[in-house]
Amino acid sequence: MTQPSESKTATVPAAAPAPAATSSPLLRVDGPVFSALRHYGIVVICAVMFLVLALTSGVFLSPRNLTNIFDQWAVVGIVACAGTFVLISGGFDLSVGAMFALSGVSTALIAQITGSAVLAVLAGIAAGAVVGLINAFATTVADINPLIATLATALITTGIAIYLSSGQLIAIKNPGLQWLGQGRFLGLTIPGVILILTIAISWIVLSRTTFG
């Protein structure tokens, strides 16, 4: 009798794992490209828009047009500098537009009543400060969500501004306030000069002080 031969099973070597796909360090989420976009995305977008307008419009780069754009957006830039501090601290403020309107109305009315540009400017600053203190109390002491609190103060402040002005434009004939709004220094309007100073002060506070 012959014994059955033992069956031998051949072992197949396991396939080597495929090498992991490597991406360029520049295109990684934590790479320098995405990091730069997170920090300077708005700057890049503005630069691209500026370049497109400069190439497609023959008058965009004219000194007069650039000066007009800078003057028209000076007030918005000043408000944006103040809003930067709020956003960096984790807050949110929807009442800045209404606060700006109330401050302007207060300034104009006090100028008409007293004839003093200094008192008028102080009244406008005081009106904005009062609204700011109310927002601060609502969001910190009362612990109301900043979105809800500032939306409510925006509606109330807008109503007060409309009531004080009767929904009409207030003409200002005070020479001091006219110079503050229309005067020029080194070819720029006074609001433009104030914007440059505000940007410089904000940069120093945020980058060179413990508070910032």
- Judged by DSSP in three states, 171 sits in coil
Task: Examine the pLDDT at 195 and tell me if it is beyond 60.
Answer: yes
pLDDT at 62: 87
Task: Examine the pLDDT at 116 and tell me if it is beyond 50.
Answer: yes
Chain Cα centroid distance, residue 128:
18
pLDDT at 29: 60
Structure tokens at 178: 């006219």
Summarize the confidence of residues 52-60 as an average pLDDT. 87
CA distances in angstroms from 126 to 28, 119, 123, 132, listed in the order given = 49, 10, 5, 10
d(CA 180, CA 116): 13
Q: Give the residue from 161, 149, 159, 153 showing the smallest Cα distance to 103.
A: 161
Q: What is the pTM for the complete model shown? A: 0.72
